[in-house]
Amino acid sequence: MNQDLEMVVGLEMHLQLKTSSKMFCSCSTEFAAPANTNTCPICLGWPGTLPSLNQRAVLYGLQGALALNCEINLESWFDRKNYFYPDLPKGYQITQYQKPLGYNGTFRMKKKNFAIQRVHLEEDAGKINYNNGNMEIDFNRAGITLLEIVTEPVISSPEEARSFLRELRLLFLYMEISDCNMEEGSLRCDANISLRKVGEELSPNQVELKNMNSFQSIARALEYEGKRQSKILSEGELIKRETRGWDEREQKTYFLRSKEQGFDYRYFPEPDLPRILLEQEFVNSVGNNLPQAPGERQKKWMEEWGIGDEEAAVLIAQKPRAEFFEKTACLAHPQEVAKWIKENLLQFDFPLEIPPEYLAEIINRVEEGELSSTQGKEVLQLVLETGKKPGEIIREKGWKQVSDEVYINQIVEKVLEENPEVVQDYFSGKEKAIQNLIGQAMKISKGQANPQLVGDLMARKLKEREKNG
Ligand SMILES: [Zn+2]
């Protein structure tokens, strides 16, 4: 891309809300049901039917808008967006146009705040599948609950777009209001991109990008489009206002349709649905009860518990893992807990079969010198395999590390008595001879003596003997 130019990107995301029924009827939202089985006269748009609003969708939408720090319209409503398309049985989509649920929001990421223009509720359209030259329409998706999130044009690079989407997805997974699964279509994203001379106003000729089905393809499409537009501008031409698709196989964008005409959707308020009226008190209570955002949790771990950047990122990536970590970290040293999870538990699916108390107990026993760290790891392994309590396994295996000084002293004395030659070697300067003695003491204790303590006592006794001649 030309150095004098900067990229300006706005994103438009559609999130399927985790409701079990559709937005305006009681049809199931189950994924991958046989085509056209999750349908009824309402979502098929038969004449004379009336929609009724899914209350949970409104609650989830409100939670989403509040998590993005939006201002909330206490009175909002649905509008009809009229257009013809085979996957739209009613001939219009019910959406929020004039009064979205939320507006003027901010999504806070570590280094930057991103302005959110609006957050609104709408229903999904059906899906068209092409099969052996036939066009097949599946209305199972028609009427599915969606939350649309539109950012201001505040994203300045493909990489930033990707990390924005990654973090936003994590936020909604933590909120548990959407599965955010791109493969199943429960998270979709379009992008508006244009280039401007550094410091200048936004160019009005935005290109809209569609059909990107992973965060990576969004980043690649933006990258490609940045180069394409930069080249056109450097040749003294203007960028055409158009919608372009992303070709995954060819790794390039292609012309879909011109936006010159500006389609008229003849929006008007949906007459079959009452307005959504929210009380400020209710909005406040929803806002006060939002789950803690992943970004905030990570910040707390790093600032208060001294967890490193990289470890925090690994732990936050899944909510059940993060919760296991937090609970365990309240019972044992947080940095040790992070280390133990990272080294021993990442291959497991969370939530684990064992409670956080078990891991905490193992870590504490290791920290107190009661178990060696190798023994601790073995105990953890057995706890995971058998579900038994750590204490039970330690007793059964006789792995309890002995830190009884009187007992260890006796062993040390015995070893010194029985090995005068080795002791002599040590006195004559062979410092490594002490390892031989420690090894024998450990053997006598059947590996259960605290090795640190054995080493200390051995060194002390040797010193005493040397002094006494
Ligand atoms: Zn239905």
In this prediction, residue 156 has a pLDDT band, given cuts at 50, 70 and 90, of very high
Query: What is the 412 CA–ligand 1 centroid distance (Å)?
Result: 80
Query: What is the 228 CA–ligand 1 centroid distance (Å)?
Result: 43
The helix-helix angle for 309-316 and 294-305 (nearest 10°) equals 140
Kindly tell me if the per-residue pLDDT of 448 is higher than 80: no
* pLDDT tens digits for range 34-90: 999 999 999 999 999 999 999 999 999 999 999 999 999 999 999 999 999 999 999
What one-character-per-residue DSSP string does 10-47 give? EEEEEEE---SB-SSS--B--TTPPTT-S--TTTTT-T
Distance CA(212)–CA(182), nearest Å, equals 10
Kindly tell me if the per-residue pLDDT of 465 is higher than 90: no
Kindly tell me if the per-residue pLDDT of 404 is higher than 80: no
Query: What is the 93 CA–ligand 1 centroid distance (Å)?
Result: 14
Q: Of 166, 79, 150, 68, nearest to 113 (Cα)? A: 68
pLDDT for 261: 60
Query: What is the 134 CA–ligand 1 centroid distance (Å)?
Result: 25
pLDDT for 400: 66
Tokens of 230: 């930069």
Query: What is the 53 CA–ligand 1 centroid distance (Å)?
Result: 12
Q: Give the chain's radius of gyration (CA, Å).
A: 32
* pLDDT tens digits for range 407-447: 888 999 999 999 999 999 999 988 889 999 999 998 888 77
Q: Of 346, 343, 296, 359, nearest to 318 (Cα)? A: 346
The residue type found at 159 is E
* pLDDT tens digits for range 177-212: 999 998 888 999 999 999 988 877 766 678 999 989
Q: Is the dihedral of CA 415, 421, 424, 425 positive or negative?
A: negative
Query: What is the 23 CA–ligand 1 centroid distance (Å)?
Result: 9
Residues of the chain with CATH 1.10.10.410: 405-468
Query: What is the 73 CA–ligand 1 centroid distance (Å)?
Result: 28
pLDDT for 398: 78
pLDDT for 386: 92
Kindly tell me if the per-residue pLDDT of 263 is higher than 80: no
Query: What is the 309 CA–ligand 1 centroid distance (Å)?
Result: 46
405-468 topology per CATH: Arc Repressor Mutant, subunit A (1.10.10)
| Residues around the ion ligand 1 (C-beta < 5 A) | 25, 27, 40, 42-43
